[in-house]
Structure 1
């Protein structure tokens, strides 16, 4: 049975997704979760880009542009990610 999994995934993709949606939560909920993931991904991309541009600009004023990567890594993980997740899932 395990040997037939690649064949089933290749030729019966729509049926597999339909059955997973039917068994788990329904097609509407599956679409809603997919839409939420796209929105949270876009919010994260926009927030990270804004943070990088503003961080570089602000750190450039005091002459330490080299720390932009550290600033982005620290703030994205500690502050930005929880805030974006909270807004996106609200």
Structure 2
């Protein structure tokens, strides 16, 4: 689901493989470890993606509840109609 963006829109969604396979640059100048800024940027992107996914799950859960309620109401009205 990686789509390009237009004019600085949201970056394409992260794929689990991208997170699993992500490699960071090592820090130069005799220091050991990863580039902290690069790690922070990636973690920020992952956090934003997770926030979006949580919002989507909540929205879909509410929509699912609404649809189930509408279906129950419709089924009840059909059952009453048959009894009349």
Output the TM-score relative to the length of structure 1: 0.41
Higher RCO, 1 vs 2 (CA within 8 Å, ≥6 residues apart): 1
Output the TM-score relative to the length of structure 2: 0.44
Of the two, which has the highest radius of gyration? Answer: 2
Which protein is richer in helix relative to its size?
1
